[in-house]
Amino acid sequence: MNSDLIFILDAGGTGFKFSAVKDYKEIIEPFTIPSAAPTLEEVLQKLIDGFHRCEELCGCKARAISFCFPGPADYPNGIIGDLPNLPTFRGGVALKQMLENEFNVPVFINNDGDLFVYGEALGGLLPQVNDMLERQGNPKRYKNLFGVTLGTGFGGGVVINKVLLNGDNSAGGEIWCSRNCLYPETIAEESVSIRGVRRVYAREAGIEFDKAPQPYEIFKIAQGDMKGSKKAALKAWDELSTVLADVIGNGLRITDGLVVIGGGLSGAWPVFMPLLIKKLNEPYSVNGNNIPRMETEAFNLEDINDCLRFAEKSGKMVTVPFSDQQVWYDHTKRVGVGITKLGTSSAVAIGAYAYAMNQLG
């Protein structure tokens, strides 16, 4: 057994992606096993076979197994509930105990959004932004990170001062079921997801959903690099950014830190990020009066000019009353929004590794 080796799994509705991490670095080439199978027993056997293959590739046992798995779930106890994307999971599956019985090592399971944000907080966007501020001579440092993943679903997570927020019911950061501000009868995920982007494009282009392009193609159409309805493509990304801004804005009112975006749709940031930042900074209008959407100003960390303004040192020295003493005062309140720096899958792996090592003490 290697005391610093952790086997990792990024589990999704279509595939199980296995890896192995040591000293915060992946030491094997990740491999994927399709997750679909007609019975629960066959799905579980794929998980067992995948971790045994990790043992073969590494030539030794791991100190622990740590991975993300779709919810709803009781993550501390490792019991998986009824899953929409893995229909064989029904009635509560004791996944943690099953794997501990098989491999005789501790097993830790968490949400993919949580582990993604944890990885970015420890080795991705958060430390990179603080390094940039230090280089610019700005004394400001960020400790809190709110993250979202945009893909088949809409995930999220929160890290406060390097501590992952799990919540008392394994539901911390579960923003996918936030109210959809454009369609209040449904949830945010219906607009912030692959199906949401395709649905809006199909509606605006006057075609059936099944004939709608995939999001990457809709992104290229919006940029004018591919044939299609540019108007429909822009509308699709506009609706995603509108709903995403509403959810992120609500989250920032609580976390008051940086925001990192990952997932398959994050690659379309050149189209949706400017819209997202604009909507985050747009005020509300109440009886003709503008009310700030947030107490903070949001900056696009992927835009060089916005990034420079974000990192710029501001503030002044003020005199302490009844003394000659002076203290630093910065009245500006800034939050930055950026795209994953590690890559979503690698961030999840690093987050899973760190979570396991932390649990092991």
In a domain, 187, yes or no: yes
Q: 316 and 193 share a domain?
A: yes
Confidence of residue 84 (pLDDT cuts 50, 70, 90): confident
- Please check whether residue 9 is in contact with residue 96, taking contact to mean a CB–CB distance below 8 angstroms: no
Euclidean distance between CA atoms 97 and 92, whole angstroms:
12
CATH number at residue 76: 3.30.420.40
Residues 50 and 18 sit within 8 Å (Cβ to Cβ): yes
Task: Read off φ and ψ for residue 26, nearest 5 degrees.
Answer: -70, 130
Question: Strand (E) positions, 201-333?
Answer: 258-262, 284-286, 289-291, 297-300, 316-319, 326-329
Helix axes 215-222, 194-205, angle to 10 degrees: 50
Neighbours of 105 (CB within 10 A): 17
Task: State residue 248's pLDDT score.
Answer: 97
Phi-psi sector, 223: left (phi>0), alpha (psi -120 to 50), beta: alpha
Same domain, 71 and 190: no
In a domain, 150, yes or no: yes
Write down the pLDDT at residue 1: 61
Above 90 in pLDDT, residue 229?
yes
Structural domain total, the chain:
2
The least confident of 8-12, 144-148, 195-199, 306-310 is 8-12
User: Each residue of 86-102: pLDDT tens digit?
Assistant: 889 999 999 999 999 99
In angstroms, the Cα distances linking 302 to 65, 72, 310, 341 are: 34, 33, 11, 11
Pairing of strands 154-160, 163-164: antiparallel
- How many whole angstroms separate alpha carbon 337 and alpha carbon 302? 8
Residues 98, 352: contact at Cβ < 8 Å? no
The predicted pLDDT at position 2 comes to 64
- The model's pTM is 0.92
Q: What is the arithmetic mean of pLDDT over 291-308?
A: 93
Q: Which residue has the tokens 């809409």?
A: 154
Nearest to 216 by CA among 174, 266, 166: 266
* Cβ-contact 142, 126 below 8 angstroms: yes
- Residue 207 located in a structural domain: yes
Distance between CA atoms of residues 231 and 60, nearest Å: 55
Of 92, 110, 128, the residue at which a domain comes to its end is 110
| Side chain identity at residue 66, one-letter code | S
Is 122 found in the same domain as 101? no
215 and 276 fall within a common domain: yes
Provide the token pair at 249. Answer: 């804005």
Between 200 and 283, the higher pLDDT residue: 200
Q: Which of 29-33, 76-80, 179-183, 284-288 has the lowest mean pLDDT?
A: 284-288
Residue 267 lies in domain: 115-341
- Over residues 200-226, the pLDDT tens digits come to 999 999 999 999 999 999 999 999 999
Q: Based on the domain organization, do 282 and 301 belong to the same domain?
A: yes
How does residue 174 score in pLDDT terms, banded at 50, 70 and 90?
Answer: confident
Last residue of a domain, one of 86, 110, 134: 110
Range with lowest mean pLDDT among 68-82, 198-212, 268-282:
68-82
pLDDT band at 172 (very low <50, low <70, confident <90, very high): confident
Same domain, 72 and 120: no
Read off the pLDDT of residues 51-60 as tens digits, 9 standing for 90 and up: 999 999 999 9
Residues 147 and 101 both lie in one domain:
no
- Examine the domain organization and report whether 103 and 120 are in the same domain: no
* HSE-CB for 70 with a 13 A CA cutoff: 20
pLDDT at 292 (0 to 100): 85
Residues 167 and 103 in one domain: no
> For the residues of 23-47, what is the DSSP string, one character each?
TTEE-S--EEEE---SSHHHHHHHH
Asked whether residue 348 is domain-assigned, the answer is: no
Whether 137 and 285 share a structural domain: yes
* 141 and 16 within one domain: no
Backbone angles phi, psi at 320, to 5 degrees: -70, 130
Q: Which of 110, 125, 153 is the last residue of a domain?
A: 110
